[in-house]
Amino acid sequence: MTLTFTRRGAAALALAAALPFAAQAEDPTKVGFIYVGPVGDLGWSYEHDQGRIAVEEEFGDSVETTYVESVPEGADAERILTQMALAGTDLIFTTSFGYMDPTNNVAAKFPDVKFEHATGYRRDHPNVSTYSARFYEGRAVLGHIAGKMTSSNKIGYIASFPIPEVIRGINSAYLHAKKANPDVEMSVVWVYTWFDPGKEADAARALIDQGVDVLMQHTDSTAPQAAAKEAGIYSFGQASDMAQYKPAPRIGSIIDNWAPYYIERVKAVKEGTWESVDTWHGINEGMVELGEFSEAIPEEVRAEAQALSDSIAAGEYHPFTGPINKQDGSAWLAEGETSDDGTLLGMNFYIEGITGDIPN
């Protein structure tokens, strides 16, 4: 793992030291980030780091940011968070689901430090907030495109860990692919990692060998894109645009835009207005963005996808609107009924039509 400090105020501090009678500038707000992967993954951690950079650009020398990349979700995370807190960090963003326990454990020991945990659901202390994006909204749009673009009627999905966030995405993608193309089948491969190019590539090739001609992923590297390009099939960027694979195989993407949230929360700390909250934003708020639809997609399908995105953003359509049954055929949502957030946040079941079991 790599510890990196960014000190934009170094020149100003040096000047102040040379002029002992000059008024000293206010100490910068110290903001820390820990990432589950490398910032160069061009996916999840990359986009969080783009948010960190946006904070620096917004606040200039009045902030000092620190990040640590490739932090395992466990004891290492707790140790690094403790080090950050001891170093006088004012606000710490912990950017992966598995950091939930370490975040709350360290927050209990440092009540004057503010902690923000991404994609978790627990804030056990008044100095902890949670934040996440409604990725399932974007997956509904990409699922529609996938259903229209498959020739084999077989879509593949590379899944990371069997947590509600990932299961929601699978269900949303399949539901909308099936609406677009009633003959669609979806195969899911679980890789039990967020970032491992080798495992992700192996999963992609295994799905391609099964006849999949459209590939989706909830993992962070571009390895599935490379496998899709080699096989001549379609794929979608995950977390970032993965634009180096345009116009194909990458024909669309979900982009996680964390910058506005990070700027807002840093501002709240600086102004003394920070409060412990749960945030779950989607397409409407701009936390979930859709990358440019490739010209490889027929114009009519691009228009349909854009209309779907617009209706979700406007609150006119909810991606989980009944009738929808669970995988075992039991009723979940009746005609016109929409899912409540509590069920989505704890989702632990497949919807009807998806084969295979969710791992324990």
Average pLDDT over residues 55-81: 96
Model pLDDT, residue 21 = 37
Model pLDDT, residue 4 = 55
pLDDT higher at 335 or 12: 335
> Please, which residues have CB within 8 angstroms of residue 156's CB and are 6 or more apart in sequence?
186, 187, 188, 189, 204, 207, 208, 210, 212, 214, 215, 216
pLDDT of 98-132, one tens digit each?
Answer: 999 999 999 999 999 999 999 999 999 999 999 99
First to last CA, the chain: 29
Instruction: Determine the Cα–Cα distance for residues 148 and 182; give it in Å rounded to an integer.
Output: 10
pLDDT of 325 above 80? yes
Per the listing, tokens 């409060």 go with: 275
pLDDT of 168-197, one tens digit each?
Answer: 999 999 999 999 999 999 999 999 999 999
pLDDT of 360 above 90? no
Q: CB pairs under 8 A, 24+ apart, for 127-132?
A: 127/276, 128/103, 128/104, 128/276, 129/265, 129/275, 129/276, 129/277, 129/278, 129/279, 130/277, 130/278, 130/279, 131/261, 131/278, 131/279, 131/280, 131/281, 132/165, 132/279, 132/280
pLDDT of 256-287, one tens digit each?
Answer: 999 999 999 999 999 999 999 999 999 999 99
Model pLDDT, residue 109 = 98
Q: What is the dihedral of CA 228, 347, 99, 107, to 10 degrees?
A: 150
Per the listing, tokens 């940011």 go with: 65
Domains in the chain, please, with CATH? 2-10+22-133 (3.40.50.2300), 135-255+291-345 (3.40.50.2300)
Distances (CA, A) of 149 to 142, 228, 267, 353: 10, 14, 43, 19
Identify the band that residue 160 occupies on the pLDDT scale cut at 50, 70 and 90: very high
Model pLDDT, residue 13 = 34
Give the HSE-up count for residue 78: Cα atoms under 13 Å, Cβ half-sphere: 10
Identify the band that residue 3 occupies on the pLDDT scale cut at 50, 70 and 90: low
Residue 248 tokens read as 């194909």
pLDDT of 17-55, one tens digit each?
Answer: 344 433 345 899 999 999 999 999 999 999 999 999 999
Model pLDDT, residue 1 = 53
